[in-house]
Chains A and B, each alone.
Chain A
Amino acid sequence: MKKDFSILIGGEAGEGSRKSGSVIAELFSNIGYRIYIYEDYPSLIRGGHNFSQIRANGKEALSHRKGIDFLLALDKRTIEEHKNDLSKDGMIIYNSDNISGKYKGIGIPIKTITKEEGGNPIMKNSVLIGALVKIIGMDWKVVEKVFKKELKKYAEINLKIAKRGFDSSKTLFTIEKIEQKPLPLLTGNEALALGAVKAGLDFYIAYPMTPATGILHFLAEHKKEFNIAVVQLENETGIVNAAVGAAFTGARTMVGTSGGGFALMTEGLSLAAQSENPLVIINSQRMSPGTGVPTYNGQGDLLFTLTAGHGDIVRFVIAPGDADQSCFWAGKILNLSWKYQTPSILLIDKQISESTFSFDQSILNKVEYEKPLLWDKKGNYLRYKDVQNGISPLAFPGEKNVVSKSNSYEHDEFGITVEEKEKVEKMQNKRLRKFREMKKEVDQLEAVKIYGKKKSEKALIVWGSTKGPAKEAAEKLGIKMIQPIILEPFPEDQMKRALKGVKKIALAETNGLGQMEKVLNCYGIKVDKKILKYNSRPFFPEEIEEKLKNF
């Protein structure tokens, strides 16, 4: 019995395909399926072509795939754009009110039905959903449950409308219920926000930029429940500098942006490094350079993120590959940033930020608030005390007997500006010793994940969101897949261990220069085959599989 479904719903922007996508995902999730939703939309508010592609799988769903089983079309363009992607038995359920022609599937006058039932035009989506439910033989009770939860006061009328779609279709098969607990559906942005909050986030500051905006929306919506501060300020330069200021007072602060905003933030990154203030930046990549393809995907900021900011900067760069990992590592990076009083970047991309995943809530139990090193209140407080491991204890303004001097200039232990060469070198050395401690810390963490056939002599290296489709391809081909998650300080030893016995290495990433190859080369790792995609769309598992067939 089939336990893997691919459903695409599309229409013009503003027609509600995205909401419908999440309702369809909830339906499958309710009967135990694991979900991934890919959101595709151009940079406009009305018109154009938006679609959500839902993957529902009985075991695991980490990416969308080729071959659409059900194409739900609100407009003709949806059919024209995707009819060639239909799977062998794939069918189209379409709006026959404004689509004429002969298509493989069923046409339903959804606009007319919605009008007859007294609904507003956006509710026509429900007719398509009702039809889909009937075709796959899903229990109507599931629809009632999901609509009530998702559509709240509009549930009743939408159910009436959906029932018309349900009644106008025939059941082709009866979908199997999966015996496992449904998981909540969250976007990567939401999952990472939860992880950060669990690790003690006090303050989130941002300026809207796709695809990171969802973090701002989610935290602003829930700031009361989380008891945190959330503000939007004038620009990214302002945001990063305000964040470093807030961290100086002891508030765990995080900022979020995409590549262009991150570029503006680099001066603050440098300030945080020099003044040893903790700072977490989320850089959710989109297709660049320049404004690029602003609502689409790319992993082109890797080298930039690893080196951004003027001067010798010690930093953590962590690149999780899905919602679960984003949740865990957002919490971890906040703790690490405070433990080592240094800037950190969580590097994700649109495919993680805006895609929806079945979220494993138990991850939250692995994220805790870890207390940073605080001053013991003995003697005079020295903000930059020259200790052996380079980590000077923290104290904050407002505390008794504390004069805390944070300095962007090179400074002495108290925080007074210095320019003498011996004093400059002494403080540089302190920070370099701290970097050595950071490297040791990385060795203690699971910085590299291994999937697929662990004993294979062939390995595919991927990072970030490419993990999803690559894992599926590697498992199918029976090869090893290696995902370095912490990218700075680079987990050299763990990578070498992961590559032990491997004779051939392939690399897949969504940028044109093969940026990860350059990073790997720095550590003596040679790549035999590069699979690069740079049309601003993420990989399908089938694409990676195809390219690795003769590898």
Chain B
Amino acid sequence: MKLDTYAENTWCPGCRNFMILTAFKNAISSLVKDGLSKENIVVVGGIGCNSKTIDYLNLNSFSSLHGRPIISAEGIKLGNPKLKVIVFIGDGGCYNEGISHLIHAAKRNTDITVLVHNNSTFALTTGQFTATSPENFKGRSTPEGSVEKPLNPLKLVLASNGTFVARGYAMKMDHLTNLIIKAIKHSGFSFIDILQPCISFFDTTSFYDQKVYEIEEKNLDSPKEALRKIEEWDYNQIDDSQKIPIGIFYKIQKPSYWEKCLGTLNPSKRKKKVNFEEWK
């Protein structure tokens, strides 16, 4: 299956986004082989290196604005609930500019998949701190180091009633492929925070290589258990004793937003005739 486009790839040589792109293409190939219709896939991006991904995919795509890919994806899903909608977004877009949309999409259990390329920095704007940058992050906007502690996005999504909460690592491609397949298959809001070292502005590769370990898929319906695992790492990269679990932390089945709001209605396919005698 041809998933590439003619678009020139403009990521830095060796960029970890290549791994995420490959993992995604592998996941899509596998899902299409299993019967997912390629026509029904829509990939959504915003701005940043992460969002260039959609240009490199020969799939329906929607390029949104900074911070808005999740809410754009929600609109797409509500417009035509038959579509499989997958979001590529960065930590800046997801946890800074557009954090309200993340919370509400999780709360509503909108049936979309959110893949966060989390490199803990604004890379395309040359390395400022984001909501997941560690304390003391030195960038050009914080030459003396950021004074803010990072946010734990998994904790946030769990607290927002997300129904699929996972973390992946760009350098563990097969593991990531598997996570993406499961996330897309999940009916409801699925979320993967993907640790993605930025080789130009914040290269965390060796740090993650040492710390990351895979967790087993056990007790996935227990929020308490999920929270315990999520709290093993606080994203601060300061406490050296902490390990970084990757995998699925939480997964439960609940009716999704569109099912509850729309029932059998598909707004993009409805008949346009309305009987005007009936309304009053």
Contact = CB atoms under 8 A, between A and B. Distances in A.
B78 A246 contact: yes
B191 to A, nearest CB: 17
Given A238-B71, A397-B40, A229 B267 contact: yes
B265 interface: yes
Contacts of B76: 245-246, 248-249, 397
A237 B40 contact: no
Interface string A183-196: 01000000000100
Nearest to A226: B274
Interface in B38-80: 39-42, 44, 47, 52, 54-55, 58-65, 68, 71-76, 78-80
Contacts of A237: 68, 71
B63 A409 contact: yes
B39 A398 contact: yes
A64 interface: no
Given A229-B262, A238-B71, A245-B75, A202 B270 contact: yes
Interface stretch (A91-99, A400-408, A534-542): A400-408
Interface string A209-252: 00000000000001001111101011101100111111111110
Contacts of A242: 71-72, 74-75, 78
Interface in B243-280: 261-262, 265, 267-272, 274-276, 278-280
What band does the interface of chain B fall in when counting residues whose beta carbon is under 8 Å from A?
Answer: 35 or more
Interface in A293-321: none
A271 B75 contact: no
Nearest to A186: B280
Nearest to B103: A234
Given A202-B267, A245-B74, A234 B100 contact: yes
B68 A203 contact: no
Interface residues of A, number: 56
B83 A417 contact: no
Interface centre among B61, B71, B270, by most chain A C-beta atoms within 10 angstroms, is B71
B278 A403 contact: no
Given A203-B78, A417-B55, A225 B73 contact: no
Interface string B71-111: 11111101110110000000000000000110010000000
A184 B75 CA distance: 35
A422 interface: no
Nearest to B67: A237
Contact of A231 (B59, B261, B275): B261
A55 interface: no
Interface string A385-411: 000000000001111111111111100
B5 interface: yes
A241 B75 contact: yes
List 7 tightest A-B contacts by C-beta distance, closest first: A245-B75, A242-B75, A249-B79, A246-B79, A397-B60, A251-B79, A251-B267
Interface of A: 184, 194, 197-198, 200, 202-203, 205, 222, 225-229, 231, 233-235, 237-238, 241-251, 253, 267-268, 271, 275, 364, 369, 396-409, 414-417
